[in-house]
C-alpha cells in the first residue's frame, strides 16, 4: 500500500517558523563568537542570558505540549521549527531541545511515573538539570547491535543491583541522572531501562572522551556501574520493555536530529553562497563559474530532498503509522547530505573554509558524527533492505 503525505502547514506555524528564524539570526548567531570551539561550550553567564531571552519570546522547549511549557507542536511543526533552530550549533541547547535531553524528555513524558516525573522530568524541562542516555558499550558490548548488551541488573528484593560499562554517553559530565539500558538477570529479552542519579554509590564517570567534533554540554563520557543499587521504583516502564522503550525514544530522536541537521546544512550553504558571490578568481566571481554553480545546485537539491524525506517521516509519526522505513531513509540521506554540503562549502571557500575563521570548519568536525550516531548509515540501509525483502517497502 502506497502511503501519501497528508499535511498542510497552518499559517500560525509558518509565522512561528519565520519568527524563530529571525530570532536565531539576530539573537543567537551573534553569540557564537563567545563559543569555545574546542569544548563546545558557552560561558555560563551567556547561557543564562540567552535562555532567558528564549523564554521571554515563548520559544522554550518547543517540542513539548503546551501543558508542560512547550509550543504544542505536532511532528511536522516540530520539523519546521527544529530546522530553523539547527542553523546554529549553540541554539538547540539554548532552546532546551538538544540531544540527549530532548529525547529523554520524550521518553519520560511517555513512560515515567508521577514520582519519576517529579524527580527527573519536570526539572529537566525547566532547564534546572541535564541528563544522559547510557546505551552504547565498549567491545564486546552493544553498539549498533543491541543484542550484544553486557550491562546487567540483578533483582534483589525491592531493588536491582546494576553492573556495567558504558561509553559515548552524551551529556553525562555534569548530568543529574542517566537513563541506563540493561539486561535483567542476564536476559536480553528482559532488558529494561533504569533511572540512575549520578550521585548513586557505585556510579563512576571515568572520563570525558575526546572526539573529533565539539563536545557540547556534558561531552561524550565513559561510565562504570559497580553494584549500583537502583530502587524498583526507578525502573522506567516494566521489566522487559527496554528495547520497546528505546525505539520509542530513538525513532523520533533520529528524526529530530535530521531536522537540526537540515538547518545546519542550509546555514553552510548560505555561508558558501555569500563567499562565492564576493570572491573573484580568473576574471569573475566564483559564483559565476559554471563548476561552482553546479556544486551549489547539488547541495540545494540534496538539502531539499532530505527535508522532504524528513517531513514525510514526521507526517507518518504524527498519524501514528509505521515510520521505521521512512525514518531510516531520512537518517541515511540527511546525515550524508550534511557532510557533503559542508565539504563542498569548504572546497569553494578554500583556505578560509578550512580555517577557524569560518564556521564551516566547526560544522565539518561536528557533522561527521551524524553518519554514526543513532544508527550508522549501514544499519539504516540494512533496515530498508530488510523491509524491501519482506514486502514492507512504502513509497
What's the pLDDT at 45? Answer: 96
The CATH fold assigned to 243-389 is: Butyryl-CoA Dehydrogenase, subunit A; domain 3 (1.20.140)
What are residue 284's DSSP bridge partners?
A: 281
Q: Where are the domains of the chain?
A: 11-98, 131-236, 243-389
Residue 239 near residue 192, CB atoms below 8 Å = yes
> In the chain, which residue ranges form alpha helices assigned H by DSSP?
11-23, 44-56, 75-85, 91-94, 101-111, 114-116, 122-125, 242-278, 290-318, 324-349, 351-354, 359-367, 377-389
Distance CA 165, CA 2 (A): 44
Ranges of the chain whose pLDDT falls below 50: 1-2
| Helix, strand and coil percent figures for the chain, each rounded to 5 | 55, 15, 30
Q: pLDDT of 204-240, one tens digit each?
A: 999 999 999 887 889 999 999 999 999 999 999 999 9
Distance CA 151, CA 165 (A): 7
Closest listed residue to residue 40, CA positions, set 218, 175, 174, 196: 218
Distance CA 266, CA 85 (A): 11
Distance CA 73, CA 64 (A): 7
pTM, to two decimals = 0.93
Closest listed residue to residue 263, CA positions, set 91, 142, 40, 84: 84
Distance CA 326, CA 331 (A): 9
Instruction: Return the CATH number of the domain spanning residue range 131-236.
Output: 2.40.110.10
In the CATH scheme, what is the homologous superfamily, with its name and number, of domain 11-98?
Acyl-CoA dehydrogenase/oxidase, N-terminal domain (1.10.540.10)
What's the pLDDT at 56? Answer: 97
Distance CA 335, CA 229 (A): 38
What's the pLDDT at 1? Answer: 39
Amino acid at each position: 500500500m502506497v502511503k501519501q503525505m497528508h499535511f498542510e502547514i497552518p499559517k500560525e506555524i509558518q509565522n512561528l517558523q519565520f519568527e524563530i528564524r529571525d530570532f536565531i539570526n539576530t539573537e543567537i548567531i551573534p553569540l557564537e563568537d563567545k563559543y569555545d570551539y574546542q569544548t563546545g561550550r558557552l560561558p555560563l553567564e551567556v547561557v543564562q542570558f540567552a535562555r532567558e531571552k528564549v523564554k521571554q519570546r515563548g520559544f522554550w522547549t518547543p517540542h513539548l505540549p503546551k501543558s508542560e511549557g512547550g509550543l504544542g507542536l505536532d511532528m511536522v511543526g516540530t520539523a519546521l521549527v527544529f530546522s530553523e533552530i539547527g542553523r546554529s550549533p549553540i541554539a538547540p541547547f539554548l532552546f532546551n531541545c538538544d540531544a540527549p535531553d530532548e529525547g529523554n524528555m520524550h521518553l519520560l513524558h511517555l513512560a515515567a511515573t508521577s514520582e519519576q516525573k517529579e524527580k527527573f522530568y519536570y526539572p529537566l524541562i525547566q532547564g534546572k538539570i541535564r541528563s544522559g542516555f547510557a546505551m552504547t558499550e565498549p567491545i564486546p558490548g552493544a553498539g549498533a547491535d543491541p543484542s550484544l548488551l553486557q550491562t546487567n541488573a540483578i533483582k534483589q528484593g525491592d531493588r536491582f543491583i546494576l553492573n556495567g560499562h558504558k561509553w559515548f554517553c552524551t551529556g553525562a559530565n555534569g548530568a543529574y541522572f542517566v537513563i541506563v539500558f540493561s539486561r535483567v538477570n542476564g536476559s536480553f529479552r528482559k532488558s529494561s531501562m533504569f533511572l540512575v542519579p549520578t550521585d548513586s554509590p557505585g556510579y563512576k564517570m571515568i572520563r570525558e572522551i575526546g572526539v573529533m567534533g565539539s563536545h557540547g554540554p556534558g561531552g561524550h563520557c565513559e561510565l562504570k556501574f559497580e553494584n549500583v543499587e537502583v530502587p524498583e521504583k526507578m525502573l522506567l516502564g516494566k521489566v522487559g520493555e527496554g528495547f520497546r522503550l528505546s525505539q520509542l525514544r530513538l525513532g523520533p530522536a533520529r528524526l529530530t536530529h535530521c531536522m537540526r541537521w537540515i538547518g545546519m546544512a542550509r546555514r553552510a550553504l548560505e555561508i558558501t553562497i555569500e563567499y562565492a558571490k564576493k570572491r573573484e578568481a580568473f576574471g569573475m566571481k566564483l559564483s559565476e563559474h559554471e563548476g561552482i554553480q553546479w556544486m551549489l545546485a547539488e547541495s540545494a537539491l540534496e538539502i531539499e530532498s532530505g527535508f522532504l524525506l524528513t517531513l514525510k517521516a514526521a507526517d507518518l509519526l504524527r498519524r501514528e503509522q509505521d515510520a521505521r522505513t521512512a525514518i531510516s531513509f531520512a537518517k541515511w540521506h540527511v546525515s550524508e547530505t550534511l557532510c557533503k554540503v559542508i565539504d563542498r562549502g569548504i572546497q569553494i571557500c578554500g583556505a578560509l573554509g578550512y580555517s577557524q575563521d569560518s564556521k564551516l570548519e566547526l560544522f565539518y568536525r561536528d557533522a561527521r558524527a551524524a553518519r554514526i550516531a543513532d544508527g550508522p548509515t549501514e544499519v539504516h540501509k540494512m533496515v530498508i533492505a530488510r523491509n524491501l525483502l519482506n514486502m514492507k517497502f512504502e513509497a
